[in-house]
């Protein structure tokens, strides 16, 4: 009976055997705590349940360890230091050309202030502060223009994203 309950709790035969054994060991160790005239089955099931809960809490708090097989170190993925490499800085126009026509048209259709903010933030990877300085406007205005520009893009490109399965169903 203890094993059946343990199996239901752990959903694993090995863990159920361990839990049953730990329950019996605790019951034997604390047999003097058992009050005569009480129902032994209920007493054992209480020990089983409490043991399961305590072990579960202990496992949750303990970090997960992964044992690596093999003693050799992993191959390095770092670039070869002997080969010189300097990444090319692309202009926003060059990056703009990499976009699909539908995306280009959606960006081109944005009001000029929104378009400029979106291009600087998303294509040129500029910070809000840099955009504010370039557009000569307050930081809050930049954040507002980015929010509104991106919202317009989302609305215009919704069909494009669905066709390419780039978007999941939004929550209401």
Q: What is the CATH classification number for the domain harbouring 109? A: 1.10.10.10
Q: How many domains does the chain have?
A: 2
Q: Is the pLDDT of residue 171 over 70?
A: no
* Mean pLDDT of the residues in the chain: 86
Burial of 33 (0-12, 13-18, 19+ CB in 10 A): exposed
Helix axes 128-135, 139-156, angle to 10 degrees: 100
Q: Is the pLDDT of residue 110 over 70?
A: yes
> What pLDDT was estimated at residue 6?
94
What's the CATH number where 41 sits? Answer: 1.10.1740.10
> What's the pTM?
0.48
Same domain, 51 and 96: no
Task: Determine the structural domain holding residue 32 and report its residue range.
Answer: 2-61
99 falls within a domain: yes
Single out the residue in 10, 41, 61 at which a domain terminates. 61
Same domain, 99 and 156: yes
The model's pLDDT over 140-154, given as tens digits with 9 standing for 90+, comes to 999 999 999 999 999
Q: How confident is the model at residue 1 (pLDDT cuts 50, 70, 90)?
A: very high
Q: CA quadruple 89, 92, 97, 98: dihedral positive or negative?
A: positive
Mean pLDDT confidence for 86-95: 73
Taking a C-beta distance cutoff of 8 angstroms, is the pair 61, 21 a contact? no
Mean pLDDT confidence for 89-103: 80
> What pLDDT was estimated at residue 129?
94
Single out the residue in 42, 61, 80 at which a domain terminates. 61
The model's pLDDT over 30-86, given as tens digits with 9 standing for 90+, comes to 988 888 888 999 999 999 999 999 988 888 887 777 666 766 666 677 777 777 767
């Amino acid at each position: 009976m203890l094993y059946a309950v343990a199996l239901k709790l752990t959903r694993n035969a090995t863990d159920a055997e361990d839990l049953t054994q730990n329950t019996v060991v605790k019951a034997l160790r604390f047999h003097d705590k058992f009050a005569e005239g009480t129902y032994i089955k209920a007493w054992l099931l209480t020990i089983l349940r409490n043991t399961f809960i305590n072990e579960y809490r202990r496992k949750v708090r303990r970090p997960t360890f992964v044992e690596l097989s093999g003693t050799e170190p992993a191959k390095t993925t770092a670039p070869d230091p002997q080969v010189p490499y300097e990444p090319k800085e692309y202009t926003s126009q060059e990056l703009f050309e990499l976009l699909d026509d539908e995306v280009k048209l959606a960006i081109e259709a944005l009001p000029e202030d929104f378009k400029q903010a979106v291009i600087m933030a998303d294509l040129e990877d500029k910070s809000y502060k840099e955009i504010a300085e370039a557009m000569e406007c307050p930081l809050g205005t930049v954040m507002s223009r980015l929010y509104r520009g991106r919202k317009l893009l989302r609305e215009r490109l919704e069909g494009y994203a669905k066709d390419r399965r780039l978007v999941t169903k939004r929550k209401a």
